[in-house]
Amino acid sequence: MILTSPTPIDLNIGAIRQQFPILGRAVKDRPLVYFDNAATTQKPQAVIDTISQYYGNYNANIHRGIHSLAEEATAAYEASRMAVKEFIGAALSEEVIFTRGTTEGINLVACTWGRANIAAGDEILISGMEHHSNIVPWQILCHEKNAILKVIPVLDNGELSMTDYHNLLSPKTKLVAVAQASNALGTVNPVKPMIKAAHQVGAVVLIDGAQSAVHLDIDVQDMDCDFFAFSGHKLYGPTGIGVLFGKKDILESMPVFQGGGEMIKEVTFERTTYNELPYKFEAGTPNIADAIALKTALEFLNDLGKDNIRKHEAALLKYATARLETIPGLTIVGKAREKVGLVSFIIKGVHPQDIGVLLDNQGIAVRTGHHCTQPLMARFGIAGTVRASFAVYNTFEEVDALIAGLWKALKMLS
């Protein structure tokens, strides 16, 4: 195969890899090749250290304590909220709510904003490439309220049909909920014009940023979305921590989500008054350690520069796509003009899971199956795909290993 491996611009990938202890391990006696980054990224040592420093030095419950440890923990937790505010370009830190992840953020909006604002006959518009976590909460809501779930069709190349989108929008549309980037196809959706069009019919817009926050520059004010949800673990941060951004006036008008400590101002047996934003939506002891470590992950991203990372991942995607296309019977699913760094494919006559197992035997981690997008798989008439998704620490040599691994797998299956 004669294809040059373009070396990325300003990044020293070898040095970056050194920051990820897990990349030094072997799997099945082979060096680990980790291409399951869209499911979760690996964590740099700095993120791991932040968690252990919190538990080793200043573990305390936040906000209510007056002792030093509580003050230190509270300051670090709130500093992380500020870092998130900067990261997504929010106007106010009150608009940043810590959640468990994207799924919880979407469910929060469905359970609070949704229950208060959706009525019988209203329409909720999602897209045909949504992750189950941006389908099921709206289905539950529609069922409860006798509302109607409508779906923007996906074109053969993996882009959304914008003609259909505009036709589906109407004054009945109360909410549009779409992914900025697809976890199964890699498609980047044109969310800014989509949000503008939705606002013109009076709809509120939630953007699922689970796959975009790590790759794209996020500016919620410029985008003008009403809600934006993402997960820390997909951007080099810990699991169990995520963020829901909401515009202040909308968040203020929303009923509370969970009841408990921290979300209250005053409680009597007769009635409760609720805390201000963002605490109103953060009932109970939050995931303090991981919220603090999320800031470290954002610093890791900012230090490398998202633009540099994007260029590297785009080069990996281009290289991988070209090499994959040389494999007989292989079809790439999702050929949108704009994609994040992931490639999904099927091979004629071969079950994706068999490929996954045979690659794993060679130390190569890919994801196989429906990627929590069963309706999208049905749209393409397939049960699932093999997906290789890239992160900043991946190399062109690893792509070569994937291609060699695939050839080997196919030989074994033939």
Q: Which residues bind ligand PLP (CB under 6 A)?
A: 101-103, 131, 133-134, 179, 183, 208, 210-211, 231
Q: Computed over its alpha carbons, how large is the radius of gyration of the chain?
A: 22
- Residue closer to ligand PLP by CB (options 80, 373) is 373
d(CA 56, CA 66): 19
Q: Which residues pair with 127 in a beta bridge?
A: 152
**3-class DSSP assignment, residue 161:** coil
Least distance to ligand PLP, CB of residue 66, Å = 35
Least distance to ligand PLP, CB of residue 233, Å = 6
Q: Are 188 and 218 in contact (CB under 8 A)?
A: no
The CA-based angle 248-224-374, given to 5 degrees, is 100
Of the candidates 180, 159, 130, the one whose C-alpha atom is nearest the C-alpha of residue 337 is 159
Residue 201 DSSP label: T
Phi-psi region of 305 (alpha: psi -120 to 50; beta: other; left: phi over 0): left
Residue with tokens 């006036």: 249
Q: Which whole-number Å values give the CA distances from 217 to 83, 228, 307, in the listed order?
A: 14, 13, 8
- Residue closer to ligand PLP by CB (options 33, 376) is 376
Q: How far apart are the first and last CA of the chain?
A: 22
- Residue closer to ligand PLP by CB (options 211, 287) is 211
Q: Are 292 and 232 in contact (CB under 8 A)?
A: no
- Residue closer to ligand PLP by CB (options 102, 344) is 102
Least distance to ligand PLP, CB of residue 101, Å = 3
Q: Which residues pair with 347 in a beta bridge?
A: 330, 350
- Residue closer to ligand PLP by CB (options 124, 179) is 179
Structure tokens at 225: 């979305």
**3-class DSSP assignment, residue 105:** helix
**3-class DSSP assignment, residue 181:** strand
d(CA 94, CA 250): 12
- Residue closer to ligand PLP by CB (options 201, 365) is 365
- Residue closer to ligand PLP by CB (options 358, 392) is 392
Q: Are 60 and 33 in contact (CB under 8 A)?
A: no
Residues catalogued as catalytic: 372
Give the Cβ contact number of residue 39 at 10 Å: 16
Q: Are 365 and 36 in contact (CB under 8 A)?
A: yes
The beta-strand segments (E) located in 216-268 are 227-231, 242-246, 264-267
Least distance to ligand PLP, CB of residue 208, Å = 5
Least distance to ligand PLP, CB of residue 296, Å = 18
